[in-house]
């Protein structure tokens, strides 16, 4: 059986990639418009002390994105893509459906955290199985220990993207950047990872006008969860098939990974209930300091364009050791930036409260 992320014949490239992108963007846009137009009839996300918006706003606009990803998996399952196994497509479709369904349920009626985490874990196992199936010996998912790391990483990607979905446009622009840059930096020849990245980028761009610069609708967990799984899936498949080093993918995602991971770690260290809703991420501090949501999004975009993208583009051109060293330097710089920024914002808040 062929490696699931194997090259798709070039003859399929011209007639497949463009329609996939157009259909993905259209489906996401129509779903977002439908949710936004329902207004009071759709479940509204009300303002509150743990929220960053001032007006009731419908959530669940990411339903179209979840359906696009599941449908692409179904297309693979049906044998639409040469060189990709039907079992791989079925597993991917089920993974995205599972995360999207749990997210939609949580949007409509809050779920306890353990059923959510269980669903995320099952979805991560499915994707890890796809990555491991006939994987090259050097691939991360080829060993049991590597596959376990992939499962943990994918589950964390789902949740950190959920955590970072708190202001207008931030998650959508970040995912468009990470997925789009991943596709551009991958070695030539279309792969399953590239198809997923193209479809995801197009779907996010179709949704974005409804969420930025002023949100008419929020992604909701139904959108943020599948996007988090997608970002991790593209990174794992691309690395396994030697199309883009994992270090480069981690650098592209560094803005979100640093903010979410350090915020979670700081809450655990301080004895806070890490799993409860809060406003302690750096982007939330920036928004509370008086900066508009658009300006906060611009801050993360600058990091992506000035730091993450150039370093990620350089990593495939150097050896593996140097690539991981560059990634470590980016994360060290990101952690230092996060710490300094939080301290300055905290001091300003203390002075303002006196």
Output the pLDDT for position 245. Answer: 93
Output the pLDDT for position 48. Answer: 53
Output the pLDDT for position 55. Answer: 67
Output the pLDDT for position 12. Answer: 45
130 within 8 A of 230, measured Cβ to Cβ = no
Which alpha helices (DSSP H) does the chain contain, by range?
13-38, 63-77, 86-108, 113-132, 144-163, 170-185, 192-207, 221-240, 246-252, 254-269, 282-288, 293-303, 309-314, 320-353
Output the pLDDT for position 6. Answer: 43
Report which of 70, 80, 76, 64 is spatially closest to residue 27, judged by C-alpha positions.
64
pLDDT band of residue 52 (cuts 50, 70, 90) is: low
> 174-200 pLDDT, tens per residue?
999 999 999 999 866 677 888 899 999
Output the pLDDT for position 8. Answer: 46
Structure tokens at 243: 């199309």
Please tell me which residue, 322 or 85, carries the higher pLDDT value: 322
**CA within 13 Å, CB half, 305:** 8
pLDDT band of residue 10 (cuts 50, 70, 90) is: very low
Alpha carbon 155 to chain centroid, angstroms: 11
Q: Where are the domains of the chain?
A: 10-353
Output the pLDDT for position 85. Answer: 74
Q: What is the C-alpha separation between 27 and 32, in angstroms, rounded?
A: 9
- Average pLDDT of the residues in 257-266: 95
Output the pLDDT for position 2. Answer: 38
100 within 8 A of 222, measured Cβ to Cβ = yes
- Average pLDDT of the residues in 36-40: 69
Residues in the chain: 354
Please state the pTM of the whole predicted model: 0.91
Average pLDDT, rounded, for the chain:
85
Cα→Cα distances 263→53, 282, 327, Å: 20, 8, 20
Of 28-42, 72-86, 237-251, 299-313, the range with the highest mean pLDDT is 299-313
């Amino acid at each position: 059986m062929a490696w699931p992320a194997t090259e798709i014949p070039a003859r399929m490239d011209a007639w497949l990639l463009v329609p996939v992108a157009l259909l993905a963007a259209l489906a996401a846009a129509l779903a977002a418009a439908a949710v936004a137009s329902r207004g009071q009839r759709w479940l509204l996300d009300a303002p509150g002390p743990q929220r960053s918006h001032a007006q009731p706003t419908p959530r669940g606009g990411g339903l179209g994105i979840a359906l696009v990803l599941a449908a692409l998996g179904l297309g693979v399952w049906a044998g639409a893509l040469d060189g990709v196994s039907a079992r791989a497509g079925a597993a991917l479709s089920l993974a995205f459906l599972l995360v999207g369904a749990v997210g939609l349920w949580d949007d409509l009626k809050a779920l306890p955290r353990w059923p959510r985490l269980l669903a995320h874990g099952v979805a991560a196992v499915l994707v890890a199985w796809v990555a491991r199936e006939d994987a090259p010996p050097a691939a991360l998912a080829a060993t049991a220990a590597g596959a376990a790391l992939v499962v943990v990483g994918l589950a964390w990607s789902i949740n950190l993207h959920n955590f970072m979905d708190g202001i207008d446009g931030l998650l959508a622009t970040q995912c468009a950047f990470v997925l789009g840059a991943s596709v551009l930096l991958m070695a030539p020849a279309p792969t399953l990872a590239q198809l997923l990245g193209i479809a995801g980028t197009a779907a996010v761009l179709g949704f974005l006008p409804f969420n930025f610069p002023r949100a008419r609708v929020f992604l909701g967990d139904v959108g943020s969860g599948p996007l988090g799984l997608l970002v991790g899936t593209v990174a794992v498949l691309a690395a396994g098939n030697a199309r883009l080093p994992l270090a480069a993918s981690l650098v592209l995602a560094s803005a979100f990974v640093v903010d979410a991971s350090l915020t979670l770690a700081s809450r655990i260290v301080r004895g806070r209930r890490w799993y409860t809703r809060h406003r302690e991420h750096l982007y939330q501090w920036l928004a509370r300091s008086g900066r508009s949501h658009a300006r906060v999004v611009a801050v993360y975009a600058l990091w992506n364009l000035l730091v993450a993208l150039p370093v990620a583009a350089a990593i495939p051109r150097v050896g593996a050791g140097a690539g991981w060293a560059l990634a470590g330097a980016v994360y060290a710089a990101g952690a230092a930036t996060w710490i300094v920024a939080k301290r300055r914002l905290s001091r300003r808040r203390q002075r303002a409260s006196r």
